[in-house]
Structure 1
Amino acid sequence: MSDLLAITAPRIFDAFDWHENAALLIEFGHVVGIVARSDIPKHSETVHLGGGFLAPGFVDLQVNGGGGVLFNNDPSLPAIRAICAAHAQFGTTALLPTLITDNVGVNLAAMQAGREAAQIGVPGFLGLHLEGPHLSTARKGTHDPSLIRAMDETDLSRLLALRNDLPNLLVTVAPETVTREQISALSGAGIVVSLGHSDAGYEVSAAAFDAGASMATHLFNAMSQLGSREPGVVGATLAKSEVHAGLIADGIHVHPAAIQIALRAKTGPGRLFLVTDAMSQTGTDITTLQLNGRTITRSNGALRLADGTLAGADLDMIEAVRFLVDRIDVPLADALRMASLYPAEALGVQSEFGHLRPGAVASFVHLTGQHEVASTWIAGQSVFSAC
């Protein structure tokens, strides 16, 4: 059997260009190139995917759970496996399991699970996202205020040590609870620092970006808003052209008009990218879940605490893509980039993820003409088929 695999489809989107009646060539789990069907090497193994098109696999930088598992409730290697498998059904081929603010014991367990997942190469595992506990209680959202605290030197040392054991590490912090020096130390060690759950003003937020923070977590949600005399975290994020920002595109977390405004503001090099902020419900029909002893209810496309506070999102990545295309009139190519290339760029992994050009990991999604997931492939291997 040949080591060279050719995947054919009517159309292939490589994140930059469309290719008609072409084949994606894969060898040892990486993209070799895209060629016309007439140029497929004779010695290759060929798989024909009829109808629809291929696109780069989705990259999700904020995934709290899936498949009935919430990472906070089960910070383990099996949980990471289950979360990655659940999201593969919806086209996600690389993700960051995300830990919401919790106690030190849960944090340490999650860190160890991440190390184990990295060591054995769990399909779809890209690293960890630690969202808290160094946040603002004024913008806590669903985070337990009793567990929110400032970063100390022990926290900093743990994060710096963890970075050595993971392919990628993203931390969400509020600049009120970390110092500029701590942000510089984190970013200098290759940790991506994102501002979120923050009530900071523009000057403090801009200073944090200048210190090395490079991203904003779920733009508009749980952060100080854009005002005429105080632009807040939102204003600093939109004003700093190099800053990337995650977005929950479900029509509930952010008004369509606000999404359109943000899209006009973030034209590069920093971009707006999609996140699901999904909880354990993804890929299941469960209607209630638990977080830090509190009940979250799933209803009418949203997840809420008893007081109505949004608690993550009832969203998957292909649904977010469809929302942008159908409700915001975002061109399909741009929506696909927001789900693949742009998050990869935000995390700094665009050499291997988020596109299908030579050298990239051969992770892709086969979508129907109605933008439904027909199959998902990770590193040249089929991991989900709707048939």
Structure 2
Amino acid sequence: MITHLLVEKVLVDGTWLPNQVLSVEHGIIKGIADYPFASDEVKASISQTIKGSVIPGYVDTQVNGGGGVMFNHAPTYESLKVMADAHLKYGTTTLFPTLITDDIHTIERAADAISEALADNHSSIAGIHFEGPHLSVEKKGVHLPRYIRALTDREMATYTRKDIGQVLITVAPENVSVDVIRDLVNHGVIVALGHSNAPYDVVEQALEAGATGFTHLFNAMSPLTSREPGMVGAAMLNNSICGIIVDHQHVHPKTVELAYKVKGPNELMLVTDAMAHVGASEDRIAFFDTYITREGDKLTTPDGTLAGSCLDMHSALVNSVNDIKVTLANASVMASTTPAVFTKIHDRVGDIAIGKAANFVVLDSTNTLCQVWLQGKKRFTYSAELHNSDKSLLSESRE
């Protein structure tokens, strides 16, 4: 059965179109038409009118946890469902659960959990992001050095499994050879560079071998200096896609503004690097043999080390619009289209277009999140009067 939705304003291919009818069947957009020119039959069968601005559902390539759950601590399908639900409330309709540096058994269990999710046709999970363990100890961040190591055949066998969707892996190029990078890419794995102290020339060699992106630009990577461009310089100069955490804790707003001016919306994508705190009421949550505490918008370990974020994707978009002065249309590209292109899933998500999933969010005139739709079904509705940071859930549909 086809459902027809009358939308007040929708972003299609970078253009705002007023008064459009979205026709949805089996969760897929089958048609987009101007209401005045729609057939009488379609007009008569419109089931709902959506007020506000409609943009694509968000695609987050770096989600370590949510809803009080860390993927590393409980690499199961049940954990994935909790994480996905927690982020869906904030408009993330597609995500890559992210496993940070850990032992081989946890890596294999995580892959098994993803396989189970995909076999069950989970609506939001598109693959997996292995952030480590093949990183630089010098730029480890909160990754535990006891697990940082070279890539072995056993790990390669996991990364190249064909039942775990699209695989994204973050490596430090000084610790992973160009031959290994080339082999990963040849197996369809997306290689991003990060948690690295590599000099510019080593980064360039990794890019030439097939690496196509950078994990959380500026954070945990060799900086741009006068005499050594470092990983930051390579990322800014090359036509690669860079994730960036716009929570105003990881990167100064003016630094984000500079990156945006250099890279633009098609090469800069929003990520959350979210920990278990997103969608959870607890401020202190266990993390390996320590814990992470939330104070305001910042997460730290007891020694003060920045430990991921409590950022959600809608807040990242709003921060980009309000503080970086990115247009809503371009911020939407950064939150949806660019990450979908980077992870090679743009054929099915990332835009509001015929043939793609009917995943979208509805914003009011202040860019407050009002509704979240997943595969043509309204999943969450929020009070339009409340700011997104203090929104209250009015209803949830599971039909």
State TM-score, norm by structure 1: 0.95
Q: Map Cα deviations across residues 182-227 of structure 1 (whole Å, 9 max, x no partner).
A: 1011111111100010000100001001101101000000100111
Which residue does the alignment assign to 1:248? 245
Which residue does the alignment assign to 2:355? 359
In the TM superposition, residue 265 of structure 1 has moved relative to its aligned partner by 1.5
User: How is 1:17-166 mapped onto 2 (pairs within 5 angstroms)?
Assistant: 17-41=15-39, 42=41, 45-160=45-160, 162=161, 164-166=162-164
- Residues of 1 paired with 2:219 and 2:179: CA distance? 26
Answer whether contact 1:302 1:310 (CA < 8 A) is retained.
Answer: yes
Answer whether contact 1:89 1:373 (CA < 8 A) is retained.
Answer: no
In the TM superposition, residue 34 of structure 1 has moved relative to its aligned partner by 1.6
Of 281, 288, 307, which residue of structure 2 is paired with 1:311?
Answer: 307
- Residues of 2 paired with 1:205 and 1:76: CA distance? 34
Identity of aligned residues (%): 38
In the TM superposition, residue 304 of structure 1 has moved relative to its aligned partner by 0.4
Q: Which amino acid aligns with 2:69?
A: V
Q: Which amino acid aligns with 2:337?
A: L
- Residues of 1 paired with 2:361 and 2:95: CA distance? 14
- Residues of 1 paired with 2:153 and 2:33: CA distance? 53
Q: Secondary structure at the match of 1:52?
A: strand
Q: Which amino acid aligns with 1:95?
A: L
Q: Which amino acid aligns with 2:252?
A: H
Which residue does the alignment assign to 1:382? 378
Which residue does the alignment assign to 2:280? 284
Which residue does the alignment assign to 1:217? 215
- Residues of 2 paired with 1:361 and 1:17: CA distance? 19
- Residues of 2 paired with 1:47 and 1:367: CA distance? 20
Q: Which amino acid aligns with 2:206?
A: A
Q: Secondary structure at the match of 1:123?
A: coil
* Residue 281 of structure 2 corresponds to residue 301 of structure 1: no
* Residue 3 of structure 2 corresponds to residue 5 of structure 1: yes
What is the Cα-based RMSD across aligned positions, in Å?
A: 1.4
In the TM superposition, residue 284 of structure 1 has moved relative to its aligned partner by 1.9
In the TM superposition, residue 9 of structure 1 has moved relative to its aligned partner by 2.2
Of 183, 186, 193, which residue of structure 1 is paired with 2:184?
Answer: 186
- Residues of 2 paired with 1:47 and 1:195: CA distance? 46
Answer whether contact 1:4 1:45 (CA < 8 A) is retained.
Answer: no
Residue 166 and residue 40 in structure 1: after superposition, are their counterparts in 2 closer, same or farther (change >3 A)?
A: farther
User: How is 1:196-207 mapped onto 2 (pairs within 5 angstroms)?
Assistant: 196-207=194-205
In the TM superposition, residue 257 of structure 1 has moved relative to its aligned partner by 1.4
Answer whether contact 2:135 2:195 (CA < 8 A) is retained.
Answer: yes
- Residues of 2 paired with 1:167 and 1:156: CA distance? 15
In the TM superposition, residue 383 of structure 1 has moved relative to its aligned partner by 2.4
State TM-score, norm by structure 2: 0.92
Answer whether contact 2:5 2:50 (CA < 8 A) is retained.
Answer: no
Answer whether contact 1:12 1:20 (CA < 8 A) is retained.
Answer: yes
Which residue does the alignment assign to 1:208? 206
How many pairs are equivalent?
Answer: 381
- Residues of 2 paired with 1:200 and 1:182: CA distance? 16
- Residues of 1 paired with 2:79 and 2:135: CA distance? 25
Structure 1, unpaired ranges of 5+? none
Q: Which amino acid aligns with 1:297?
A: T
Which residue does the alignment assign to 1:258? 255
Moved runs in structure 1, 4+ residues, more than 6 A?
none
Residue 47 and residue 70 in structure 1: after superposition, are their counterparts in 2 closer, same or farther (change >3 A)?
A: farther
Answer whether contact 1:193 1:213 (CA < 8 A) is retained.
Answer: yes
In the TM superposition, residue 254 of structure 1 has moved relative to its aligned partner by 0.5
Which residue does the alignment assign to 2:397? none
- Residues of 2 paired with 1:49 and 1:208: CA distance? 49
Structure 2, unpaired ranges of 5+? 383-393, 395-399
Q: Map Cα deviations across residues 78-102 of structure 1 (whole Å, 9 max, x no partner).
A: 1111111111111110000001111
Answer whether contact 2:99 2:130 (CA < 8 A) is retained.
Answer: yes
